[in-house]
Amino acid sequence: MAPPTSTPCFYRCSANVLTTETKIQVLGPDSSGEVEFALFTLADGLWVTVGSDHTDRRVEAYSVAVSKQLCPHPVAPKLWRFDDVEKHWDRLILRSYIREDGRDLLYQEGGVTTMLHPTDLLAAYRRSGGEAGAGTVMFGGTLTVIGGIRPSRHFTCELEDPVRGRQITHRYETDCLPIV
């Protein structure tokens, strides 16, 4: 896979790939989830939640942009005001789990500080010509996976705020449609 033309790189997706559903349909067995924080720019300010940038890995090998458009991107329906976590942003933790052999296994784990800070991310987006007005949703980047990238029908993603003792969790299942 070729590296992105710039860092950060912003892949645009249509709004219809965003979902809060707990079951998604994908074409074939070659997709997998990626835990990310998701920023929602709404009329009353910036909000944050957790989501999965679910990606078709076979298509990603020849076009990251196309792969991002092919799969639904599940997000938790619960949001936190960014203002409520901004002062301790560097303490937030992302996690994901996949199910293998009937057990939930830790798939990704790390601090949000491994990605650009939301204000820096939005500023970079604006410098690239993007507009981050009300209605914009942006995923923040993902963590390295434990044990290699692999598909799983069951994916759980979490955003933990240890300072306030809370977390946002979203679980979803994939239904793989056959390629005929």
3-state secondary structure of 89: helix
- State the pLDDT at residue 23: 98
Can you give the pLDDT at residue 177? 94
Confidence label for 173 from pLDDT (cuts 50, 70 and 90): very high
Q: Check pLDDT > 70 for residue 4.
A: no
CA 9 to chain centre: 14
Predicted pLDDT at 98 = 98
- For residue 93, the Cα-to-chain-centroid distance in whole angstroms is 13
pLDDT band at residue 2 under the 50/70/90 scheme: low
φ, ψ (nearest 5 deg) of residue 53? -85, 70
| Overall CATH class of domain 24-177 | alpha beta
Q: What percentage of the chain reaches a pLDDT higher than 90? A: 78
Three-state secondary structure call for residue 126? helix
pTM of this prediction?
0.92
